[in-house]
Chain A
Amino acid sequence: MSTHTDVDFDVKDPSLTRFDLVKEGARRDGVEIVHYAPRFPVPGTRAEKRVERTIAFMLVLSGLLGLGFVVAYIWWPWKYEPGNGLDKLYNPVLGITLGGSLFLLGIAIVTWAKKLLPEEVSIQERHDVADQAERALTGATILNMVDETGIKRRPLLKGALLVGAAPLGVAAAAPLVGGLIKKPDHILFETAWKPADGHKVKLTREDGSAVRPEDVSVGGQMTVYPGVPHGASNEHADSPVLLIHLREKDASELRANLKNVAVNAEDGGAIWGNFVAYSKICTHAGCPASLYEQQTNRLLCPCHQSQFHITDNARPVFGPATRRLPMLPLSVEDGVFVAKSDFRVPIGPGFWERP
């Protein structure tokens, strides 16, 4: 702000008031105070006292609420109890006292600033026109840096620098990327339903008990998991299956439709009696598609509303899903449901390598 110091001004001049100094300081900063007036030109009027009282009241109330917060925080019964006890008011009481206290403090200070601080209009100049001379000097300095290294006339060094630095850059990135990177392998094509050592996997409940055909009523559905260790846990998040017991009429419709999907029809058909099992993982975004409407035979996914037609091999009939829910080939051995094989197509959302 060198342009503003050129005026002859003696800060030690005793005839200057403090406000003269303020104005001079502002002037040196490119600021002109063009309007400056007290809110209450006559001190001690009733109006001024009223404003003071209002602010004081808000500040005291804010303090009281803050105190109330501490008191409630320490002494209010806060431990969770089922039902409708005082503990359910703990959180609201904390919110009202803390929030109220902060809010009132803010309001009090704003009132102070608006009603008691002097009215002011200041004008500050902008200086955003770039100094061309400075620019030229800096540009020359930068170019000189490049010249000093002599990189332009030393092509050997240029090449060597590149050869030397590039591998180092890769080396710096390698542990970051390499530690994270993981090959997808076959995990997207296999689930826990794949028979291990020739043993077919049983359909089990969450507690691991096997499911029998008589366990699911007509018009009923059951979420089942592969009968392997931790089969119902998130370790096998790709494996939950919805087992549906269709009505006779709907089952024969599905039987007639099975041939529409080659993999569902092979090996004697993937359904067993009037039972059908579909992957619960939506082929759109992987949510469990499990809103089964037993009369319309639709299966709805609650995340993006894809709808699948149960009696037509879970054909997507509405919403963004493009692929059918894969059918788990069902069979019954020793009176309990087993999967004849793994799903015959990959389950879950689509991906690039998916045929």
Chain B
Amino acid sequence: MKRRKFDVAALPAKAGGEIDDRLQVSAPLRRLFNKVFPDHWSFLLGEIALYSFIVLLLTGTFLTLWFDPSMEEVHYNGPYTPLNGIEMSRAYESSLQLSFEVRGGLIMRQMHHWAALLFMASIVVHMLRVFFTGAFRKPRELNWVIGVLLFWLGFVEGFAGYSLPDDALSGTGLRIAHAIMLSIPVVGTWVATSLFGGEFPGTVILGRLYIAHVLLVPAILLGLIAAHMGLLVKQKHTQWPGPGRSNDNVVGVRMFPGFAAKGGAFFMVVFGVIALLGGLFQINPVWLFGPYKAAVVSAASQPDWYVMFLDGSTRLMPPWEARFPLWPGHHYTLPPLFWPTVFLPGVLTMLPLFYPFIEARKFKSKQSHHLLQRPRDVPTRTSLGAMALAFYFVLMISGANDVLAEKFHISLNAMTWAGRIGLLLLPPLAYWVTYRICLGLQQHDREVLAHGMETGIIKRLPNGAFVEVHQPLSPVDAHGHPTELPYAGWVVPKKMNRIGALVPTVKGFFFPVEEAAQRTLPAEAPVSPAPSREGIGSGKH
């Protein structure tokens, strides 16, 4: 390299060289660039959660610049005339100011709330994907456990967040949370008075929720997300079975540039969808609800969707109260609220946490699994999942049962009873139906592998019988009978055009079919213009 000549084109290489001299990063960096990611739409679901979390951090930081979690009583005096002169907490006033007096504040508030709903929605959908494909199996149990914790942390974070504006709806939610704490046996009243600093609502709860919402829980979330992704990188992604794919490799594209470009672009898409939602759909219009007053409530008081299933379980709970007359003059109460709001979430946390280990024990499986399973191939697990989903849906719908009753002119009491009965009947039914469907699908796969696929051509035999002509997938033996192919754990073609018999195959909208065909690799990277290799590593000269 010549000294006095300043070569701009050589600058990046030179800078790279200087950095590598000091940090020796070229090998680890290249290993990262070359990391291979498999390509399937269902592997992007977790990314939605990650990207909504980033949007939550961005918009949330904006909101903290204006929001004030103080419960000091003030009188509103601002552009929203229907609340002029009304006594309210400073927290509620600052939410109104954020919505009406900060330029663009409303869209930030709405984007923050929509991003929170999307965060939780994508966590749930991602968890379902991981569950139904068996991606939680060894060696990924720990990441599944972290995922379950992330769900509950997101749940707490969301609840704390929508309680902050101190409007009448969130205050109602907080009051129920207080009642839930009270319902805990033995220590309930201590927990409630300690957290609220005395009687409900007191003056400290918003400040405490605020610090939990903006610092404590997000910090834990961030740490767990980092661990979640670190484990993903360390253990490499799972993949579907297919040509060339085994338990010992990952088939896909390298991280740079293909995967990274798509990932970055997908972030833009998720961000864009959240911005569109925040601009076009009004969410949590706190100005309609008014400030929280203990005597104020609205018909159709609901929590956000991810809390709604617990509201539903509370609504369906029969009025069963346990009283313990332990000794004369000392009677104790276990309120019915305890079961659906403390006991049930406890069970719902423990069951998924231990599920991977329980399943491994039941299936006597000790080795590592990197190939995913199609839901139909593990009917027990799939049916258990369907059962859990049915349970969850009944609870969620019951959480909205007053709105549904009013909108569709159904008796509210009938909705409650339908929910109670449905909660007992639908999960076992879902299990049974799913099991049958899984077996049916399995059988059809094996049939096609054994006899070939249906062609729709009907042939009449000399004896007068009609048979359908099958196209075998394998070579036929001397008698014209196809040899039975083994099932490979992946999609079996069932339509003629899937094997290119009728029209060109529509490739990959749903299934990215990797081609196993070996092609000769070009000697030169087919990017144009191809520069000479002198550019590389010039920093090392």
Contacts and interface: CB of A to CB of B under 8 A. Distances in A.
B193 A184 contact: yes
A10 B335 CA distance: 77
Interface stretch (B213-221, B271-279, B355-363): B271-279
Contacts of A350: 182-183, 321, 333-337
B272 A100 contact: yes
Contacts of A213: none
Contacts of A1: 31
Contact of A18 (B176, B178, B413, B525): B525
Nearest to A98: B275
A304 B175 CA distance: 13
Contacts of B277: 95, 99
B345 interface: no
A106 B519 CA distance: 32
A113 B262 contact: yes
A123 B244 contact: yes
A238 B199 contact: yes
A47 interface: no
Interface string A282-301: 00111110110000000000
B195 interface: yes
Given A102-B275, A225-B295, A318-B413, A120 B258 contact: yes
Interface string B510-522: 0000110011011
A322 B107 contact: no
Given A82-B81, A303-B176, A188 B526 contact: no
Say which size band chain B's interface belongs to. 35 or more
A251 interface: no
Given A34-B518, A123-B244, A320 B527 contact: no
B463 interface: no
B283 to A, nearest CB: 11
Contacts of A125: 248-249
Interface in A99-131: 99-110, 112-114, 117-118, 120-126, 128
A117 B261 contact: yes
B24 interface: no
Given A122-B252, A125-B249, A19 B194 contact: no
A17 B530 CA distance: 10
B193 A182 contact: yes
A185 B35 CA distance: 61
B416 A305 contact: yes
A139 B93 CA distance: 60
B79 A17 contact: no
A117 B279 contact: no
A198 interface: no
Given A121-B253, A126-B370, A187-B198, A302 B297 contact: yes
B536 interface: yes
B216 to A, nearest CB: 12
Contact of B524 (A17, A99, A323): A17
A21 to B, nearest CB: 7
Interface stretch (A24-32, A141-149, A331-339): A24-32
B273 A302 contact: no
Contacts of B526: 36-38, 41, 118
A182 B318 CA distance: 32
Nearest to A129: B368
Interface in B42-87: 73, 79-82, 87
Nearest to B526: A38
A349 B311 contact: no
A216 B72 CA distance: 33
A18 B79 CA distance: 65
Contacts of B519: 35, 37
Contacts, number: 350
Contacts of A187: 193, 198-199
B34 A25 contact: yes
A17 B521 CA distance: 13
Interface string B386-412: 000000000000000110000000001
B180 A285 contact: yes
Contact of A126 (B248, B335, B336): B248
B152 to A, nearest CB: 21
Contact of A234 (B106, B252, B292): B292
Contact of B315 (A23, A236, A320): A320
Interface in B299-358: 299-301, 311, 314-321, 330-337, 340
B207 to A, nearest CB: 13
A141 B30 CA distance: 32
B189 A188 contact: yes
Contacts of A9: none
A238 B192 CA distance: 14
B110 interface: yes
A349 B254 contact: no
Contacts of B289: none
Interface stretch (A72-80, A161-169, A255-263, A266-274): A72-80
B116 interface: no
Kindly name the residue among B34, B73, B103, B523 whose own CB sees the greatest number of chain A CB atoms within 10 A: B34
A182 B194 contact: yes
A319 B416 contact: yes
A95 B107 contact: yes
Contact of A103 (B272, B330, B337): B272
A23 B402 CA distance: 63
22 contacts: A19-B523, A26-B34, A73-B104, A80-B100, A91-B278, A96-B280, A98-B272, A102-B275, A108-B265, A118-B525, A121-B251, A123-B36, A124-B36, A181-B194, A225-B295, A233-B73, A284-B179, A284-B336, A288-B294, A320-B316, A349-B337, A355-B333
Interface of A: 1, 11, 16-23, 25-26, 28-29, 31, 33-38, 41, 43, 73, 78-82, 90-96, 98-110, 112-114, 117-118, 120-126, 128, 180-185, 187-188, 223, 225, 232-234, 236-240, 280-281, 284-288, 290-291, 302-307, 316, 318-323, 348-355
